[in-house]
Structure 1
């Protein structure tokens, strides 16, 4: 392949074909610079509605709007070349029925150029997923703990324990049968996530689920140690950039107050003989 040949982006069929094969590495991104970093190493970059909490300081994802997803989706697409970019459908943009969901999903894909959308819910959303996929909208499903319904769950609770396991398994099965090309399993007890992964013919993407899942996803700011207000058990920090950034900001502020910044090397000299204008 020529060094100047265009990079081919991964597609939903590419992701589906990875079932049982090489693990899928997935991360969220909300900005162009972070998308560029993730794109070098990840198979899927998710523009998650977690941006409401991580970027906009909201208490949960419920206040995220379709316009917010469009804004960040376009930003991420400017930084992604190889990875499949998936954009979340926000709360209130698809629950009323398939027609509402199609309008929102079609707008996301048309105005951002993303490769797929993601929606939360179980068997009750299967007709909507089928409606979308039959009309050319690739859908990643999200079952188990679905943050948009955290109020009805009574908090960010582990899913699939005891009798509840049947419900989670049926939700995953229904989404696969409806045409979802991959399914996120969030905060699902490990043995059940392993069983669901073995049961389905589409990839599972775990977040607080099981190493047996076909892939894993985490929030970029969590693994970098930037967003620290909410730290789930399933997050592993690979850096402490928040601490490093605060130290850098403190050093800058102190140097400004001490008169040590800017120094001569940060300033511009006049050219010899250059007249000044008054």
Structure 2
């Protein structure tokens, strides 16, 4: 591709990898074109996360997200991006069975959506798969600590890596880095462990409920915008209350419809264009 001097150059996985220890990497999820356009202006990396199942489809967890579902949202997000790296989650059941199956599904995700990388959950156990993918031109972002696709085996969305469990999480981080992942998401682990991992591995760490010392941070965009009034994880900072604002706006709209205050004269059309009527 040829770029003019003023063209926007898309961020790549190697560019994210090179930000280790540099300016922190800003990341958010997105699932639609309009949101992707906004996030693209400000963030380095946009994740089409399987959190879409809970955020937009009302699922109780991420396990019901399918390839077709994530591809649909991936295509929508890609249309809204000019510069940020788009990473797309591999749904539950699409990569765990074998590296070969993981490759076929990862290749499909990238071909169908235009994503620049895939993300998968798991540490030591998934290191051979990460190596298999990266050796075949599939950039991989790893995900360790709390891994939501494992909710049924880990007993809920609990903090991971406390006490003797810390060594296993550290081993996971080292394994995915050695396998060739260009970055690793560290979710819901103690600050001291996230700091140690960040200091000891040579790829960027992206924290979510981890530590300010991580090389970057990620949140679910609907969480940080306050789209859910009932649900707020401890690690989420609300930068807006759009859920409350939307509720108030919709209530006002419904009241005005019922009272016939909307539509008013400025929102309806006459028999002739306004310019003709005014003349």
Normalised by the length of structure 1, the TM-score is: 0.96
Aligned pair 1:182/2:183, yes or no? yes
Distance 2:170 2:12 in 1: 26
Alignment of 1:59-208 (within 5 A): 59-208=60-209
Query: How many Å apart are 1:151 and its aligned residue?
Result: 1.2
Query: What's 1:244 paired with?
Result: 245
Structure 2: tracts of 5 or more residues without a match: 274-279
Contact 1:222 1:228 in 2 (8 A): no
Distance 2:135 2:7 in 1: 30
SS of the residue aligned with 1:185? strand
How well do the aligned residues superpose, as a CA RMSD in angstroms? 1.2
Q: Could you report, residue by residue, the CA deviation over 1:169-191 in whole angstroms, capped at 9, with x for unpaired residues?
A: 00010000000000000001100
Query: How many Å apart are 1:8 and its aligned residue?
Result: 1.0
Contact 2:33 2:78 in 1 (8 A): yes
Query: How many Å apart are 1:5 and its aligned residue?
Result: 3.6
Runs of 4 or more off by more than 4 Å in structure 1?
none
Distance 1:266 1:58 in 2: 38
Aligned length: 271
Distance 2:244 2:175 in 1: 43
Normalised by the length of structure 2, the TM-score is: 0.95
Distance 1:187 1:263 in 2: 51
Query: What's 1:7 paired with?
Result: 8
Structure 1: tracts of 5 or more residues without a match: 273-278
Aligned pair 1:18/2:35, yes or no? no
